[in-house]
Structure 1
Amino acid sequence: MNIGLDMMGGDFAPLEAVKGVKQYLLAHDFDGLSLVLFGDELQLSALLAEQGVPQEKYQVIPTTEIIEMNEHPTRALKEKQNSSISVGFKYLATGKIDAFISAGNTGAMLVGAMFSIKTVEGVLRPTISSVIPKQDGGTGLLVDVGLNADCKPEQLNQFAVMGSVFSQYIYGVEQPKVGLINVGEEEGKGNILAQAAYPLLKENKAIHFIGNVEGRDVFGDKADVMVCEGFTGNVILKLAESVYDIAQNQQIDNPYLNRFNFEIYGGTPVLGVEKPVIIGHGISHGTAFGNMIDVAVRMLNTNVLGKVKEAISGI
């Protein structure tokens, strides 16, 4: 199993990326894992040695360019062929690595995912999701959280399937309850998109649809997978992230509120593409990088994207 990491992406790279590699390797005794690290060879070699990362567990692929956070994704990928993101996707597309991780330019990662390795056959649009901590200790999934600001009902129907499969195989939810984010519980509520998506979800035999869920249900146990277009999802995601920030600013140490720390979940996978691509927050530290590696390993071990492909072909 070869997992590629963009070591130059993120506000605190490459040091925090190296720390994440070390944290993961210290916590997991996995003989079949090899990490392929893309970035500045001199910087990485010095940091890896300084952190005491076992040399037999990684290889460094030298790159000379970095796609900055404010660059235009498509143009940057085209013009910076030797950037850590561009080279990483070349390795992924040619099978030299099995998964690719970055906390760098989100747009470049999404463009690379959709045009380097293609979408799963039948998927209308890939999507990204985010973990939502539940009050009962469970793990909820919100999808989409920003990739598709405007959606069609058929896309929400597919998001529900992909999110349900991911929840089942990665978070161990046996029969994920799927809810449609809406402004009321009753069928027929909401805008044109929600009204049109509801009957598709209701008739979808590949999911366990429980109806509409309101904003007050997001952190409860009513639904395990919550579906919406990316505009609404991103607003909910950023609101959830602020909960942790407020708790930290108020010096509140609460087991539930502490679960809103995005670092413990790593990053978000792009669902609907052929191979695992995981996107981290730009302000990721070592803990987040280590957990992104863990997500990639779990995705490969469970063949969750193969399960997504099977589920999509059945609807």
Structure 2
Amino acid sequence: MNIGIDMMGGDYAPLEAVRGLRLYLDEPNVNDPATLFCIGQQEHVVPLLEQHGLHAHPQIKVIPAPEVIGYNEHPTKALKEKQQSSIAIGFYLLATGKVDAFLSAGNTGAMLVGAMYSIKAIEGVQRPTIATFLPKLNGGTGLLLDVGLNADCKPEHLNQFALLGSLYASNILGIPDPRVALLNVGEEESKGNLLAQATYPLLKENKQLHFTGNVEGRDVFQDKADVIVCDGFTGNIVLKMAESFYDIAAERKLAQDEYLQRFHYENYGGTPVLGVSKPVIIGHGISNAKAFKNMIHLGEKMVSSAFCDAIRSSFTQSSTGQ
């Protein structure tokens, strides 16, 4: 298995990316580690690999990428003009089959544009989506989507997000027959804005889903659903609010609380782009070594489970009306 890593993406790259590689390769339970394609500026990446004893490691391959796409650059323009950047080369390797998954903590917009135009959406998927993990109070983990990729949505989009989220919950999180719910302002079927009211019957009639109805904002961290669906505008607000919980806890010296610790981004590594034809994972801009390590593990899991094939199969089934 080959995993491509943008070594230049993130506020603390490439140092934290290299440290993440070291953490991953040092894990005692990694019997058959992936081959890690380290894509970045050689003059910065190679000395760090040498410092951490990784330059000659058999699982490490350095792929030169002299250019870097910055956070403030226009995604489409940057990818077009910087074809020797670490993100552009990463997507080239993914599209041509040289790597099986690609991950980056760099420019989110460039990652999304690259995913859409380099490897494209799976046939039948109207709009790819991104999700976030929800730490439940009972110790479980749920999923919320969309969380920012699609601010304006139609009911058909939310219906597809529900299926993508359900597939991810079952194939990657290991949740059998995941419960799907619609985020709304009340539990009654008639509640909500026009989008919510029009989406409810689609989810209810979708035989590929275990739809359980509406959930309210106060239910997000409870165990009322495994997958919660909403438009990206709403989801991004919920995501940013949830991220603030850990920051507030750290300020008030409460971050050692076992539950609050689960809100730290590093525990999840990154979020996958759901609905594109190959595994693409986007990390937080402030990703540290643990986050990079967990992104690699997520990439491995998506590849080994043939997750994208599961999406392909389900959407083929949807299109044929089975």
Normalising TM by the smaller chain, what interval?
over 0.9
Post-superposition Cα deviations, 1:209-237, rounded to whole Å, max 9, x if no partner, equal 00001000000000100000000000000
Rounded to whole Å, the distance in 2 between the matches of 1:13 and 1:117 is 25
What's the counterpart of residue 183 of structure 1? 185
Letter in 2 for 1:20: G
Aligned-residue offset at 1:175:
1.1
Show the 5 A alignment for 1:61-210: 61-210=63-212
The aligned runs of 1:1-315 (5 Å cut-off) are 1-27=1-27, 28-31=29-32, 33-53=34-54, 55-252=57-254, 253-315=256-318
Query: What SS does the aligned partner of 2:58 have?
Result: helix
Amino acid at match of 1:303: A
Length-normalised TM-score, structure 2: 0.96
- Would you say the 8 A contact 2:269–2:294 is kept in 1? yes
SS at structure 2 position matched to 1:56: coil
Question: What residue identity is the alignment partner of 1:85?
Answer: I
The RMSD of aligned alpha carbons is 0.9
TM-score (norm 1): 0.99
In structure 2, distance between residues paired with 1:175 and 1:21:
34
Deviation at 1:305, TM superposition (A): 1.3
Q: One-letter code of the match for 1:150?
A: D
Tell me, in whole angstroms, the C-alpha distance in 1 between the residues paired with 2:186 and 2:26: 47
Deviation at 1:289, TM superposition (A): 0.5
Q: Which amino acid aligns with 2:252?
A: Q
C-alpha deviation, 1:313, in angstroms: 1.9
Query: What is the deviation of 1:32?
Result: 5.4
Amino acid corresponding to residue 296 of structure 1 in structure 2: G
**2:39 partner amino acid:** F
Show CA shifts across 1:70-90 (max 9, x none). Answer: 000000000001000001111
Structure-2 separation of matches of 1:267 and 1:24? 15
How far apart in 1 are the matches of 2:182 and 2:150?
Answer: 16
* Corresponding residue SS for 2:181: strand
Q: Distance in 2 between matches of 1:52 and 1:202?
A: 55
CA distance in 2, matches of 1:199, 1:30: 47
Question: What are the ranges of 5 or more consecutive residues in structure 2 without an aligned counterpart?
Answer: none
Amino acid paired to 2:186: G
Structure 1 stretches of at least 4 aligned residues deviating more than 6 Å after TM superposition: none
- How far does residue 274 in structure 1 lie from its aligned partner after superposition? 0.5
Spell out, residue by residue over 1:3-33, the C-alpha distance to the aligned partner (whole angstroms, 9 max, x if none).
0000001100000000111111111424352
| CA distance in structure 2 between the aligned counterparts of 1:201 and 1:116, rounded to whole angstroms | 31
Distance 1:188 1:31 in 2: 52
Give the distance between the partners of 2:187 and 2:315, measured in 1 at CA: 27
State the secondary structure of the residue aligned to 1:306.
helix
C-alpha separation in 2, matches of 1:129 and 1:39: 27
Q: Distance in 1 between matches of 2:169 and 2:24?
A: 23
C-alpha distance in 1 between matches for 2:229 and 2:315: 16
Assess if the C-alpha contact under 8 Å between 2:33 and 2:59 holds in 1: no
Q: Aligned residue pairs: how many?
A: 315
Contact 2:6 2:105 in 1 (8 A): yes
Question: Gaps spanning 5+ residues in structure 1: where?
Answer: none
Between the aligned partners of 2:234 and 2:30, the Cα distance in structure 1 is 40
Alpha-carbon separation, structure 1, partners of 2:12 and 2:61: 21
1:49 is displaced (CA, Å) by 1.2
SS state at 2:71 partner: coil
> For residues 33 and 15 of structure 2, what CA distance do their matches in structure 1 show?
25
Query: Secondary structure at the residue paired with 1:268?
Result: strand
Amino acid at match of 1:18: V
